[in-house]
Each structure stands twice: as C-alpha cells, then as structure tokens.
Amino acid sequence: MPVTAARALVHGLVVHAIDRKAGQEALRSLADWAFQFSSRVSLYPPYAVLLEVQGSFTLFGGQAALLKNLRTGLAALGYKTRLAGAPTPLAAFGLARCGSEQMIAAQHQLATALASLPVSALDWEQTLLDRLDGMGVRRLGDVLRLPRDGLARRLGQQSLLYLDRMLGRCPDPQELYQPVQEFKRHLQLVSEVEQVQALLFVLQRLILELCGWLQGQGAGVQSFTVRLLHRERRHTDLCIGTHRGSRDAGLFITLLRERLERLELRQPVIEIELHAGQPVKLDARSPGLFEKAGAQEQIDLLDRLRARLGDKAVQGISAIAEHRPEYAWSYSEPGASRKDSKDQHRPLWLLAVPRQLETRDGWPCWHGRLKLQASCERIESGWWDGQDIARDYFIATNPSGSCYWIYRELAGERRWYLQGVFE
Amino acid sequence: MNLDTLLQRPDVWRGGQASAAVRAVPSGFDELDELLAGGWPQGALTELIMPRQGIGALRLLMPTLARLSQDDRWICWVAPPHIPYAPALVSAGIDLSRVLLVHPKAQQDGLWAVEQSLRSGNCSAVLAWPTLEDNVILRRLQLAAEAGDAVGFLFRSQRYVQRPSPAALRLQLEPEADGSLSVSILKRRGGRAAGAVHLDTSLPHGSLALHSRTPTATGYTQPHWQ
C-alpha cells in the first residue's frame, strides 16, 4: 500500500522510512558480536541472524544459561529482539517472526509446535500468502494438512521444499557468515551531542560490540581509538590503551570514562567512530562468562593512570652508559628499563635544567656559601654530537647541612651550576 | 566481639606494649627497625617531615626500595620535585624496571594518582610530596594504602609538623653536623611515640655506622627540634 493511500485511510499516520543499508550494517555487526555464542552464524536478511547453538550448550553450562547470556547481551546492546530456537533454521525463524519465543529441542515436536502459528510465519512472497488466505488457510497446521501434490500445484515446488526444510525432512544448509578481521564501527548520532555522559552511553554500545567480537575471536586488543567527529571535518581522537591486552568491556568503559571526563569538547559531536587495534590472542578463558558476577577483572594501574593523565605523564626510567650526567638517564616504557650504569657516586635528584649559582668572593652560593669536598670529578665528553661538555664536578654542602652536586665550567666564563641534590 | 579480637585491631592502642599485629617492611637500618618494631608499617602511610631538601631523606628509603623492587609490584613516584636520577638508583640497588614515574599536571590529579596507586594493589611503595592542608584527603590516602597493602611515603615540609595526621607513622628528620641523619618518632600507631636514632645514610650503604640516642628513663624523648 502506498503511503498516500495509507495517509488517506488513517488520520495522523506517522511514517518511518526503513534505512535498509543501516539495517544490513546492524545485522552484520550483530553477527560479528554473536560469534562468541557460536562458531556457525548465518545472516538471514533483512532482520534475522541464525546461530547454531546446540554445540555451545556445554560451554555455557546449558541451554538456559546460554539464552540468558544472549538475552542480557542483546539488551545491553540496545536491540529489541525475539529469540526462538528449533531444530531447523526455518522453524526457528518462523517462531521468532511470529513472536513465539519458544525453544523446541526435538524434531518430532516441530509439527505440533508450528501448527498454531499464523501463515505469516512463512517467509513467502505476499502473493503466495494471499493465495493461502483465499483458500481459507490461516494457520500453519492447515497448510501442513493439505495434500502435497495439490500444494505443489497451487503454490509451486519451492513452497513444498520450504515446508520440508522447515520440518527437517530435508537438509537446509546455511551459508556461514565470516566475521570481520578488523573491527571498525561508525555511528551517526541522531542529534548533536555535547554532553560527555551522552557520548559515553553511545560508546558503551560500540564497546560491547567490540568485546563480543573479540570474544568470538578468542582475542583481545591493547588499544582502540575513538574518533569524535565534529562539523567542518574536525575531529577529536581518543586512544585508549591497556598494555596487557583485554576484551573486558567494564575495563574499557572505565578507561574511556576517565578520558572522556577530562575532555573539553569544544564542538558538539555529530558522528562517532571506533577502530580497534590489532587483536592479540588471549587465553581461551572468557572472562565475561566464567568469572563470578561482580569479580570484575582488576583494572591495571598503569592503564588507569594513563587513561586520565595521558601516556606521557606515566613513565619508567633507564640508566644509560654515558659520561655526560644529563644523558646518563632517560624515560622509558614502564617495566622495560635499561640499567647500564657505572657504580659512581651520584645524587638521587637531578635537576631538569642546571641552575646557575651566584658567587660570593669567588665561592659558589646556594642558601649560603657552599663548602666543597676536596675531591673533584672532571667530565669532558660529547665532542662527537656538538653537545660537548667540559666540567669539574664537586659535592658541596651549605651552612644548613644540605648536600648538592655542583659543577664549574672549564671553559668560557667558568660559571658554577647546581645540577643535583644528594637527597 | 570478644576482648581478644578487639585487642587485635591495629587501631587499638595498648599502653606499654607494642602491637605485634602491625606488619612491617625492614628499613635496612637495624636500629631504626628496632625503634619502629620491625620497620616501615605495611599497608599504611608514613610521613617524613623534613626542614629542607638535601638532608638525605630519600637516601633513608634506598635499602627499603631496593628490597621492594625485587617484588613484582611498582614503586610509584608521584610528582617528584626533581628527576629521580637513574644511575644513583641503580647504585642503590634498585631494579629500575619496577620504577614508575607519574607526572600529573594539576595538584588534584596528583592526589588522585597517589590514591589510585596506593589502592590498586599494584604498588609495593608509593612516594609523594603532597602540599595539602586537608586531613580528609590524608585519611583517604591512609585507607587506600590499607586497601592496596602498599607502603606510602609522604615527604612533607616542616610547616606541617604541628598538624594532626592520620598517617600510621610520622617521623621527624633532621640533619646533624657530622652529615648523619637524626630520625625521631612523632607518632606511631600501635606503639608509643618514643625515641630517636642517628643514621649514617651516606653512600655507599651497607656499612652503616649507627649512633643511638638512649631514650630517657620514662621511655620518651622530646624531639630535639622543639
């Protein structure tokens, strides 16, 4: 029925356009997500996904447990779904299509269970269904009672095959869906979003999809990027990392929240992209399923600190075999330190930038006149890279007993500098 | 709850007897360990109050940090006032791969980082230089240290000495004329605030010359800085 005709019949009709492309995308992402429940997933467009679940019952601890997981997961993703199960794909589809959320385990129960369904349970063209209606056939049970040769003559051989497949009388192989190898999601927001909380709500769904996909792959990721798109092709990138690799949605959401709460949104967001890094193999144990409820995987300190403070604010340090004191150390990735060092008497604090000292009567001063220890260490090095130094280093004490590491330039104005504190 | 379980609580103080229940990390200085009934309190805050920089407060912790770096937990430095110099840490026997440096931009982030580190259970020790006045925050940090079983070291300036503090241990550090460090107890949970020691923390450590100051007859020494 055309929309104009419908409008004429019903006053105040609200028309929603079906976005077929978006629907297909949603179906595919649902299939990606559903791989955690079965390795045999098929698309059944335009609005169904088939899972072969018999083989997964043991893994999930029974049919009821699997269904519960499936339902909770789907609800968290924000989908309204109807779940039905049967020994054949078409029967399961028919049940779900009619909103009859049954789980029929045995093939011999099929005919009885399907009998009461309306003929619209059949995924047939409307003309065929109209023809059935014209014959006074309303229920599937009525269809099944019709003589086979008459049925084939009136509705075609294909319809007979359909019914045979539905009842499991002949095989119905499905084309298996291949999950994506790289996780990338794009989401157009319904309205412009300025509130971080609202963004988090939307992102939560994408992260659940990501984690479902990872679970199906038996993998985790060490990082993923969230791109917030603004108008005029501007965007904000947030890179969320967990150095051990994970597929724990709770962890990802916490890290993302830390980052988002500190984000100043200069412009509203109109679209969101989520792009996962290279998946890394995790052990087969799936935390979402077997761990006790509430025993969330502990969030690694490093990830938490970096999520809020930024990667550069959290560092490890290395000692480097180098004569010039300022080059004898460097920042490094936490946990991966070089330890090349000669055992020399060095201060525990190094000043980021040496501080020039005043002199009084030729003596360097820092909160009073500094008393130098007799021994002096001469460091001349670095002629090869232009950062060469020539200095005499002393350990010096001021009148209040604080101990410092100072040096005097050997060339030029022969100034004194404070470079370290013997704390 | 019976009396025995009540007495086991670390916050119940019994006069004249130190609680044995407080676990401690040896400081590496025998005399200090004796004074502190084993060393630094585990799962608690220790405040080190010092009149100024450069008196060797950090050196006092080196044996402890060297020992803790053998653990597979982090030694987390939050907003250190200068760069912890890697060659000196190596000389002190610290495994650098356990050292984590956190440089927050704002003070609020610093306190957050200290609390997270203490609470996470991923840190054996957390070093911080807070300049806050607020006792409520210190209490939170103390609770976080308990939760994460970490040793929290707070380096604080002299101006906080008179302030009450929820830290399990408060020590006053003073440099001595001979270059040694005087350490006296201002407060110790589960024990009396008594005594002081002089420690030679000069490097190389290992050969520690310890000079003791004998507590007075009452078992209480007035810290000499008052």
**Neighbouring C-alpha atoms within 13 Å toward the C-beta of B146:** 12
* C-alpha closest to that of A205 among A83, A91, A78: A78
Mean pLDDT of A163-178: 92
User: Measured between alpha carbons, how far is B184 from B225 in angstroms, rounded to an integer?
Assistant: 10
pLDDT recorded at residue A271: 93
User: Measured between alpha carbons, how far is B195 from B215 in angstroms, rounded to an integer?
Assistant: 5
Q: How far is CA A359 from the centre of its chain?
A: 60
User: Measured between alpha carbons, how far is A409 from A412 in angstroms, rounded to an integer?
Assistant: 7
Residue among B90, B112, B115 with most chain A CBs within 10 A, to mutate: B90
Q: Which residues of B touch A309 (CB under 8 A)?
A: 102-105, 109, 113
Between residues 334 and 393 of chain A, which touch chain B (CB distance below 8 Å)?
334-339, 341-352, 367
> pLDDT band at residue A85, thresholds of 50, 70 and 90?
very high
CA distances from B12 to B3, B17, B69, B107, B144 (A): 11, 11, 32, 34, 20
CA distances from A72 to A80, A83, A99 (A): 11, 12, 18
Give residue A413's region: left, alpha or beta (phi > 0; psi -120 to 50).
alpha
A420 touches chain B (CB under 8 A): yes
pLDDT recorded at residue A348: 95
pLDDT recorded at residue B202: 66
A323 touches chain B (CB under 8 A): no
User: Measured between alpha carbons, how far is B120 from B100 in angstroms, rounded to an integer?
Assistant: 14
User: Measured between alpha carbons, how far is B142 from B43 in angstroms, rounded to an integer?
Assistant: 8
For residue A288, the one-letter residue type is G
pLDDT tens track, chain B, 226 positions? 677 776 666 665 555 444 445 689 999 999 999 888 889 999 999 999 999 888 889 999 999 999 999 988 999 999 999 999 999 999 999 999 999 999 998 888 899 999 999 999 999 999 999 887 777 888 999 999 999 999 999 999 998 888 888 999 999 999 887 778 899 999 888 776 677 888 887 644 333 333 333 333 333 333 333 2
Question: A305, B117: Cβ pair inside 8 Å?
Answer: yes
* C-alpha closest to that of A227 among A262, A266, A187: A187
Nearest by CB to residue A423, choosing from B58, B104, B121, is: B58
Question: A313, B102: Cβ pair inside 8 Å?
Answer: yes
pLDDT recorded at residue B216: 33
User: Measured between alpha carbons, how far is A201 from A185 in angstroms, rounded to an integer?
Assistant: 15
User: Measured between alpha carbons, how far is A218 from A288 in angstroms, rounded to an integer?
Assistant: 12
B218: distance to nearest CA of chain A, Å? 31
* C-alpha closest to that of A174 among A264, A88, A250: A88
Mean pLDDT of A396-410: 91
Strand B44-50 and strand B169-175: the pairing is parallel
User: Measured between alpha carbons, how far is A369 from B23 in angstroms, rounded to an integer?
Assistant: 44
pLDDT recorded at residue A69: 92
- 3-class DSSP state of A309: helix
Give the mean pLDDT of chain A: 88
Nearest by CB to residue B84, choosing from A343, A348, A398, is: A348
List the single range of A318-322, A338-342, A391-395, B117-121 with lowest mean pLDDT: A338-342
pLDDT in tens, A349-399: 999 999 999 999 989 999 999 999 888 899 998 888 888 899 999 999 988
pLDDT recorded at residue A154: 87
In chain B, the N- to C-terminal Cα span, in Å, equals 42
Query: What are φ and ψ of residue A96, in 5° steps?
Result: -65, -40
CA distances from A265 to A6, A174, A259, A270, A354 (A): 44, 47, 12, 12, 39
- The residue of chain B nearest to residue A334, with distances taken between CA atoms, is B100
A316 touches chain B (CB under 8 A): yes
For residue A59, the one-letter residue type is L
> pLDDT band at residue A295, thresholds of 50, 70 and 90?
very low
User: Measured between alpha carbons, how far is A392 from A379 in angstroms, rounded to an integer?
Assistant: 6
pLDDT in tens, A179-218: 898 999 988 888 889 888 889 988 999 999 999 999 888 8
Mean pLDDT of A65-76: 92
